[in-house]
Amino acid sequence: MSVFESLQSLCDRPNIPWKAIIIGFSAGQFLFESYISYRQYKALSSNKLPPVLENEIDQETFEKSEAYSKAKIRFSVVSDVWALAQKVAFVKWDFMPRLWHMGGSLAATLLPVKYRAVTTIAQSLWFLLVLSNISTIVELPFSYYQHFVLEEKFGFNKLTIKIWVTDMIKSTLLGVAIGGPVLYGFLKIFDLFETNFLWYVCLFLLAVQLLAMTLVPVYIMPLFNTFTPLEDGELKDSIEALAKKVGFPLDQISVIDGSKRSSHSNAYFTGLPFTSKRIVLFDTLVNANSVDEITAVLAHEIGHWQKNHVLNMVIFSQLHTLAIFSLFSSVYRNASFYETFGFVVDAVAPEATAAATATRVFTQGFPIIIGFMLFNDLLTPLECGMQFAMSLMSRIQEYQADAYARGLGYTQNLCRALIDLQIKNLSTMNVDPLYSAYHYSHPTLAERLTALDYVSEKKKA
């Protein structure tokens, strides 16, 4: 008997307390993340900079950075408490069948009879529409506070209420226009290949990922920001010379109006592996840093390309997907699993019975979207461990990209750019190792400068 068959046999046992397991896993994740947040909060109480930063960061900036980091942790803990409360209520009081019924009611109200939700897939899409919109509304106070209170207090927010509302409307419409067909295709695979869906799902999600990498930068992101070609001049010449020197397939250099929303800075490139690339610079970076520093930052980004980091992450993502759906195949046809949460599979109820309760749903097939959402909750311990692995992999890649830029002779300018970004973004100076290993996709500034053997010009003097 294979591992998956053993798991399926185990999950098919009656009287498994699925609700208690999911609530327990969610509470365990909350307690663990609260613990490492507490560790980080203590680390932020240190009044001493890491030695490598002592000559680079003034006391006022250090104190402001610590205050900003503490404020973000307090906000994250409150957000996590609210998320846990929602999860417990959602599971304990059977909100899934309630929202399932609500989706059907919405379809009945908005659509002619022949277009109403009559299949499990159609009902699933209406369910997700209701769920996503309710989630957006519920999270509005937190989104408002994050942008217009927390970020505003430390001078980063550039959003207006108009842009904030417009962004939400655009995101909702895009979710329906793009997410709807993608979710339909995803669910249709289970409908067509009930017992051998694994490779079809993985190939479908790979195609979606590659299409997103291709189309989102070109067609979706311009709906939210303006991309302007970098003007001719010293900066453009410097970037093009670097790209030509290392054989980087540069197609276009654009400047994004990031300052419309925030004063944070960044730079990145887009494009599939083995295709031409588009470099994107935040206007906040272009306006505040020297040509040599920006070129050094892009040398780091080109290092990601040279080391095939994008391709590696795509492969890792697909292996992760394969593992998840292999496990999902062991439980997704477990009728008792669905029934615990108010879904009776392969049953028909009289109209009066179906209408009599909002916490009981009768379906002619397995409501896959419900099963997958609940299964994700069961994966909480595994995904916490996976987060450590993904952070480690990302951090290793960042070190490699830094080393690549160093090999091109950009050590000093890269270090200066990293220090400048740290100051402007008020990034955390002191980081607890466990918190960093779990949450940080990048090494800390002190770790990166140490790895680059940086010696402060002020110290030399």
CATH number at residue 233: 3.30.2010.10
Half-sphere exposure of 91 toward its Cβ, with a 13 Å CA cutoff? Answer: 24
Q: Which residues pair with 278 in a beta bridge?
A: 252, 270
The residues carrying an active-site annotation are 301, 402
Q: What are 142's two structure tokens?
A: 């937190």
Residue 147 known to bind ligand = no
262 assigned to some structural domain:
yes
**For position 266, what pLDDT does the model report?**
82
Residue 304 known to bind ligand = yes
**For position 345, what pLDDT does the model report?**
78
Asked whether residue 458 carries a pLDDT value surpassing 80, the answer given is no
Domain encompassing residue 211? 198-328
Could you give the percent of the chain with pLDDT greater than 90? 54
Q: Residue 357 — very low, low, confident or very high, per pLDDT cuts 50/70/90? A: low
Asked whether residue 311 carries a pLDDT value surpassing 60, the answer given is yes
Of the candidates 359, 422, 344, 426, the one whose C-alpha atom is nearest the C-alpha of residue 151 is 426
**For position 346, what pLDDT does the model report?**
66
Q: Which residues pair with 256 in a beta bridge?
A: 227, 282
Half-sphere exposure of 280 toward its Cβ, with a 13 Å CA cutoff? Answer: 17
Q: How many domains does the chain have?
A: 1
**For position 352, what pLDDT does the model report?**
38
214 assigned to some structural domain:
yes
Cα separation, 324 vs 322, whole angstroms? 6
75 assigned to some structural domain:
no
Q: Which pLDDT tens digit goes with each residue over 403-422?
A: 999 999 999 999 999 999 89
b/e sequence 168-195, b meaning 16+ C-beta within 10 Å: eeeeeeebeebeeeebeebbebbeeeee
**For position 289, what pLDDT does the model report?**
86
**For position 355, what pLDDT does the model report?**
43
368 assigned to some structural domain:
no
Q: What is the DSSP string of 294-331?
A: HHHHHHHHHHHHHTTHHHHHHHHHHHHHHHHHHHHTTT
Q: Which pLDDT tens digit goes with each residue over 240-255?
A: 999 999 999 888 899 9
287 assigned to some structural domain:
yes
Q: What are 191's two structure tokens?
A: 């409908």
Asked whether residue 446 carries a pLDDT value surpassing 80, the answer given is yes
Q: Which pLDDT tens digit goes with each residue over 250-291?
A: 888 999 988 888 888 888 888 777 677 888 989 888 888 899
Q: Mean pLDDT, to the nearest integer, of 180-190?
A: 93
433 assigned to some structural domain:
no
270 assigned to some structural domain:
yes
Q: What is the DSSP string of 366-428?
A: --HHHHHHHHHHHTHHHHHHHHHHHHHHHHHHHHHHHHHHHHTT-HHHHHHHHHHHHHHHT--
Asked whether residue 131 carries a pLDDT value surpassing 80, the answer given is yes
233 assigned to some structural domain:
yes
Asked whether residue 116 carries a pLDDT value surpassing 80, the answer given is no
Cα separation, 255 vs 261, whole angstroms? 14
Residue 398 known to bind ligand = yes
Cα separation, 359 vs 346, whole angstroms? 17
Q: Residue 354 — very low, low, confident or very high, per pLDDT cuts 50/70/90? A: very low
Q: Which pLDDT tens digit goes with each residue over 358-395?
A: 567 777 777 899 999 989 898 888 889 999 999 999 99
**For position 330, what pLDDT does the model report?**
79
pTM greater than the 0.75 cutoff: yes
**For position 217, what pLDDT does the model report?**
86
Cα separation, 391 vs 381, whole angstroms? 16
Q: What is the DSSP string of 176-227?
A: IIIIHHHHHHHHHHHHH-SSS-HHHHHHHHHHHHHHHHHHIIIIIGGGTS-E
For the four alpha carbons of 214, 220, 225 and 228, in that order, the dihedral sign comes to positive
